[in-house]
Structure formats: C-alpha cells, structure tokens
C-alpha cells in the first residue's frame, strides 16, 4: 500500500476521547517493549510518527493515527511492564476493555509477540481475550532478526502452539530493522480493509 498521508490524531485516556467515526481501525497490542512503535513507524514509512519511549510501559493512552484519510492505526498501551503500580495496571485494563467494548464493527487486532522471548503467559491471556470476543486477529512475531535463521521456524511453531492459533490466523515474522514481513503484514491489513463492512456509526470528531 502506498502511504500518502499518516498523521497523529489524538491520545485517548477515557471513553470520551475515543475516535468513533465509522472508519476501520487496526489496533496494535503487545507487551511493553515488544517493538510496537518501531513496527508502526516502519509500516508508515516514518521515523518518528509513533513516538518511541525510552522507558517501556510509560505510554498509558490509546493513540490514534489516521492513514490515507481512510482508516486508523490504533496504538494500544503495552501490557505487562512490571515497574508500574497495580493501580496503573488496573486503569490500563479498564481503558482496554472500554476500547474493545466501544470498538467499531470494522476492527482488526494485530497482536505483537517478541520472537526471541516467545509467547508469555500474558500474551496467551491476551490471545484468549480476543478469541473470546471473536475479534479477528493477526499475530506478528517482532524482532525476528534477533533469532538465528536456524531457529526461526521452530520459534514460530512454538508461538503458534502457545497461543493456540488456528489455521486461519496468520503469524507474520517481522523485523523493523531489516523490513522483513512488512509486505505480508500490509497484505493482511489490505485484505481486512477490502472486506470491512460499512459502518453507520456517528463521528465524535477528530479535531
């Protein structure tokens, strides 16, 4: 896909801030420090559109980016960062639950898993949560360049098994550094956008 425009719209810290204007949304979620900002910047061909924090887990808001004036990339807060307090983690959980409760019909989740670390219990919990909501999900194994070529296939099999992914769920090996997986992930997103149902939701505004 040719990216003509990509711009930050807003950060949502409560339901009142959510963008609900009928456009499709692609929501990116994963553990803190999984490489989400790097992936977004690579997909959009920008170096710093999605700000990369030096301290994982500090971004507590849901960040919306409007792409080609036709759909949103939604950067969800990272989960599982141990150094934040329980109260903040509870606030994150409530915000995430509210987002998925109010999400548009045209929604695709992209769950990021660190290829080197593998799927953690938190990753499994997240995958189960999306499955329970019957939300279509694509899984991306980030930082695949940090896994030796000889181990990559085995590591991907283990991630697929740990998350109990069915045959219809795509697992994309991805490297923001080398660009591996960019084309495959964009094809997944383009298929979702092409098949997205029309929406009749009312805009809350994006100004």
The reply to whether 207 falls in a domain is: no
Residue 143 belongs to domain spanning:
6-195
How large is the average pLDDT for residues 140-148?
97
CA–CA dist 36, 100 (Å, integer): 19
Q: Fill in the DSSP letter of residue 69.
A: T
- Ranges of H-type helices in 83-177: 86-102, 121-132, 149-162
- 205 pLDDT higher than 60: no
- Structural contact between residues 22 and 203, judged by C-beta atoms closer than 8 angstroms: yes
Give the number of domains in the chain.
1
- 204 pLDDT higher than 90: no
Residue in this structure with the two tokens 């290829």, named with its chain if needed = 115
173-194 pLDDT tens trace: 999 999 999 999 999 999 999 9
The reply to whether 53 falls in a domain is: yes
80-90 pLDDT tens trace: 665 556 766 67
How many Cβ atoms sit within 10 Å of the Cβ of residue 130? 19
Confidence (pLDDT) at 200: 46
CATH no. for residue 156?
Answer: 3.40.50.300
Confidence (pLDDT) at 107: 96
The reply to whether 170 falls in a domain is: yes
How many Cβ atoms sit within 10 Å of the Cβ of residue 51? 12
The reply to whether 189 falls in a domain is: yes
Confidence (pLDDT) at 143: 98
Taking phi first (over 0 means left), then psi (-120 to 50 degrees means alpha), and beta for anything else, what does residue 167 get?
Answer: alpha
3-state secondary structure 156-201: HHHHHHHCCCCCCCCEEECCCCCCCCHHHHHHHHHHHHHHCCCCCC
The reply to whether 38 falls in a domain is: yes
């Amino acid at each position: 896909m040719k990216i003509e425009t990509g711009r930050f719209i807003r950060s949502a810290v409560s339901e009142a801030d959510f963008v609900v204007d009928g456009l499709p949304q692609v929501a990116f979620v994963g553990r803190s420090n999984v490489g989400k900002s790097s992936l977004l910047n690579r997909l959009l061909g920008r170096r710093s559109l999605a700000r990369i924090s030096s301290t994982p887990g500090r971004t507590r808001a849901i960040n919306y980016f409007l792409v080609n004036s036709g759909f949103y990339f939604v950067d969800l807060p990272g989960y599982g960062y141990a150094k934040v307090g329980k109260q903040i983690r509870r606030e994150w959980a409530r915000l995430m639950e509210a987002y998925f409760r109010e999400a548009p019909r045209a929604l695709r989740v992209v769950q990021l898993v660190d290829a080197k670390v593998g799927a953690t219990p938190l990753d499994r919990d997240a995958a189960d949560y999306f499955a329970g909501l019957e939300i279509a999900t694509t899984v991306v194994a980030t930082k695949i360049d940090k896994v030796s070529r000889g181990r990559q296939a085995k590591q991907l099999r283990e991630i697929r098994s740990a998350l109990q992914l069915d045959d219809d769920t795509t697992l994309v090996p991805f490297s923001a550094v080398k660009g591996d997986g960019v084309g495959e992930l964009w094809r997944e997103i383009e298929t979702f956008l092409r098949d997205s149902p029309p929406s009749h939701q009312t805009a809350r505004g994006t100004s």
